[in-house]
Amino acid sequence: MKATTISDGAKGDSNGAVGQTYAKFTTNSIELYVKNQRALQVSTTSDSSSNDVASGVLHGAWQSEATVTTSDRRLKTSIEPLYRTLAQHVNKARGTTGDAGTTLLNRGRDTPLPASAAASSKNNEPPVGWLLRELRPVSFKLKRGPEAKYLKFGFIAQELETVFPNLVRTMGEEQTKAVATQDLIAVLTLALQTLQRQLEEQTREMEAQQARLERLERVVFASQQYSQRPVQV
């Protein structure tokens, strides 16, 4: 039996729709309609290597209890540290060459601390600081699929799993690694909020020190003025 349309059997509209809710099939696509509104479209296209890959479009507003994004190292190629990729784009935009952009974006990242300082920093480092230091943003390209032609940014799930296992899921028979993106956003938001509070505290301390310095300067200036006054006999 071959069918191109499966309908709920409801009366069609004036535009010739076959029903209120139905599915349409072709050799390369499937479309689902609900109350004559297209809700889902799945089709096959060819990637840059002329391989057929499935892709789809969701129409309207959709809800999900959880969202995970495939981020397995095995599916990616041309993996580079993100700061290096951004530095290359900065240099290209400025028409410059060399490591100026890399130095700016990577300042302090690869500069080792003395052993004693490193040990002290590690012991006193807050959890948020450790987490941000351990994360490695990268640029990459997917090996296949309609997105393979684009340069993408993100994380390697296997690396993220060693830092924060709760952010990674293992899915399917091939044990593909995926990242719980909503969870990651929450963690990074907390990290940014913590850094913002630290910045505000440091700003207040600097302002207080500046005020104390200005008072001290006024006292010193007044003392100098007094000592330079002529002595009357």
Q: Is 38 exposed, middle or buried (0-12, 13-18, 19+ CB in 10 A)?
A: middle
Mean pLDDT across the chain:
79
**Residues 161, 165, 168, 169, CA torsion sign:** positive
pLDDT tens-digit readout, 24-64:
888 888 998 888 888 988 888 766 666 777 778 888 888 77
Phi, psi angle pair for 221, to nearest 5°: -65, -40
> Using 50, 70 and 90 to split pLDDT, how confident is the model at 157?
very high
Question: Residue 121: pLDDT above 70?
Answer: no
Instruction: Spell out the residues 6+ positions from residue 21 whose beta carbon is closer than 8 angstroms to its own.
Output: 7, 8, 10, 33, 34, 35
Q: How far apart are CA 197 and CA 120, in angstroms?
A: 22
Q: Where are the alpha helices (DSSP H) in the chain?
A: 82-94, 100-105, 115-124, 127-134, 157-163, 181-227
CA angle 60, 25, 31 (to 5 degrees): 5
- pLDDT mean over 208-233: 81
| Residue 153, pLDDT score | 94
Q: What is the pLDDT of residue 86?
A: 74
How do residues 178-200 score in pLDDT, each as one tens digit? 999 988 998 899 888 988 998 99
pLDDT given at position 79: 93
Band the pLDDT of 161: cuts 50, 70, 90: very high
Task: Decide which of 111 and 147 is more confident.
Answer: 147
Handedness of CA 81, 83, 85, 88 (dihedral sign): negative
Residue 112 pLDDT: 47
Task: Give percent of the chain with pLDDT exceeding 70.
Answer: 76
CA angle 96–101–103, rounded 5-degree value? 135
d(CA 6, CA 23): 5
Higher-scoring residue by pLDDT: 93, 112: 93
Residue 35 near residue 21 (C-beta atoms within 8 A): yes
What percentage of the chain carries pLDDT values higher than 90?
Answer: 26
Give the integer Cα–Cα distance in Å for 133 and 121: 12
Task: Check if the beta carbon of residue 179 is closer than 8 Å to that of residue 71.
Answer: yes
Listing from the earlier edge strand, what are the strands of the sheet with 68-70?
A: 68-70, 176-180, 168-171
| pTM for the predicted model, two decimal places | 0.62
- The pLDDT assigned to 2 comes to 64
pLDDT on residue 230: 66
Q: Is the pLDDT of residue 115 over 60?
A: no
R_g of the chain computed on alpha carbons: 30
Identity of the residue numbered 27: T
Here the tokens at position 73 are 């190292």
